[in-house]
């Protein structure tokens, strides 16, 4: 299964966030906040109005988890939901493999930084990062050299649109295939700890507009890594 096919599989999977006993303005705010994710937001009211304002998350009509509305809104406050903290919060920990649509470059960079920072804090393990082109990698050279110096085994992937930059602390896999040219990914193997595994995977379907998902699921992270290693590690690489 290619990276694009993996994204399509997640895209077909939609969850429902139901907001109970809340003002329509609150529901509207949440719909707007989740507009670029593969989540349907709807409003409901209990007959008695109790137990107050709360939210549930459902898969195929079955409630997975529930939490108070106030705590949930606090957890998603701000312009973007935090990738590094999301797995430890009610509701959001069950929004694993959350699909996003039409993310901007700045959103993808912010999410990528979360994973890169996690790898740096762990100070080990393997990080895979797809830059689309060598020219894009050049802008991140100092950061990825630093990650290598911190003890992370870094593997970068890029189409050789220009000469590869001089580097010493990571391995560069150059490939002219369309998958690398169209994909943005940052994947961390957690240094053997499933709790630390995470990945961001997206594809450029429109010019500078990316569609994809993030995940903390160890199996999905392992699958992405296995695909990258089996497909591209036999290709030309530069250390």
14-96 maps to which CATH number? 3.40.30
Which pLDDT score, from 0 to 100, does residue 83 have? 43
Output the pLDDT for position 40: 84
Rounded alpha-carbon distances, angstroms, from residue 17 to 9, 34, 63, 230, 238: 20, 10, 9, 37, 46
From first to last of the 239 residues of the chain, give the pLDDT tens digit: 899 988 887 776 777 889 999 999 999 988 888 776 778 899 999 988 888 899 888 877 778 788 888 878 876 665 444 444 443 344 555 555 566 766 788 888 888 998 999 999 999 999 999 999 999 999 999 999 999 999 999 999 999 999 999 999 999 999 999 999 999 999 999 999 999 999 999 999 888 889 888 888 889 999 999 999 999 987 555 65
Q: pTM of the predicted model, to two decimals?
A: 0.73
- 98: helix, strand or coil: strand
> Could you tell me the fold of the domain covering 99-238?
Endonuclease; Chain A (3.30.870)
pLDDT, position 71: 79
C-alpha count within 13 angstroms, C-beta hemisphere, residue 160: 12
Query: For residue 196, what pLDDT is reported?
Result: 93
What's the rounded Cα separation, in Å, for the pair 139 and 21?
A: 48
SS3 122: helix
| CB contact set of 8 (below 8 Å; sequence gap of 6+) | none
CA angle 231–176–225, rounded 5-degree value: 30
Give the model's pLDDT for residue 95. Answer: 58
Strand-strand pairing, 15-20 and 54-59: antiparallel
In three-state secondary structure terms, 95 is: coil
Instruction: Please state, as a whole number, how many other Cβ atoms lie within 10 Å of the Cβ of residue 46.
Output: 11
- In the DSSP assignment, the letter for residue 165 is P
What is the model's pLDDT at position 90?
Answer: 43
Distances in Å between the Cα of 28 and the Cα atoms of 37, 64, 147, 203 are 15, 22, 41, 29
- Per domain, the residue ranges of the chain are 14-96, 99-238
pLDDT at position 89, please?
44
């Amino acid at each position: 299964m290619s990276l694009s096919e993996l994204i399509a599989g997640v895209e077909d999977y939609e969850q429902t966030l139901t907001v109970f006993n809340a003002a329509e303005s609150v529901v509207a705010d949440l719909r707007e906040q989740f507009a670029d994710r593969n989540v349907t937001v709807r409003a409901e009211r209990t007959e008695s109005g109790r137990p107050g304002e709360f939210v549930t998350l459902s898969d195929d009509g079955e409630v997975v988890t529930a939490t108070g509305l106030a705590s949930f809104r606090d957890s998603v406050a701000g312009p973007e939901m935090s990738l590094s903290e999301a797995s430890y919060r009610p509701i959001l920990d069950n929004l694993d493999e959350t699909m996003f649509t039409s993310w901007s470059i700045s959103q993808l960079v912010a999410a990528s930084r979360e994973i890169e920072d996690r790898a740096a804090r762990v100070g080990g393990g393997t990080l895979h990062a797809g830059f689309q082109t060598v020219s894009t990698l050049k802008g991140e050279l100092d950061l990825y050299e630093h990650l290598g110096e911190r003890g992370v085994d870094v593997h970068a992937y890029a189409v050789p649109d220009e000469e590869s930059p001089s580097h010493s602390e990571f391995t560069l896999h150059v490939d002219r295939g369309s998958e690398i040219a169209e994909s943005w990914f940052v994947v961390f193997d957690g240094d053997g700890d499933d709790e630390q595994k995470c990945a961001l995977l997206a594809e450029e379907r429109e010019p500078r507009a990316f569609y994809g998902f993030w995940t903390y699921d160890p199996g999905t992270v392992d699958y992405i890594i296995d695909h990258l290693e089996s497909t591209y590690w036999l290709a030309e690489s530069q250390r």
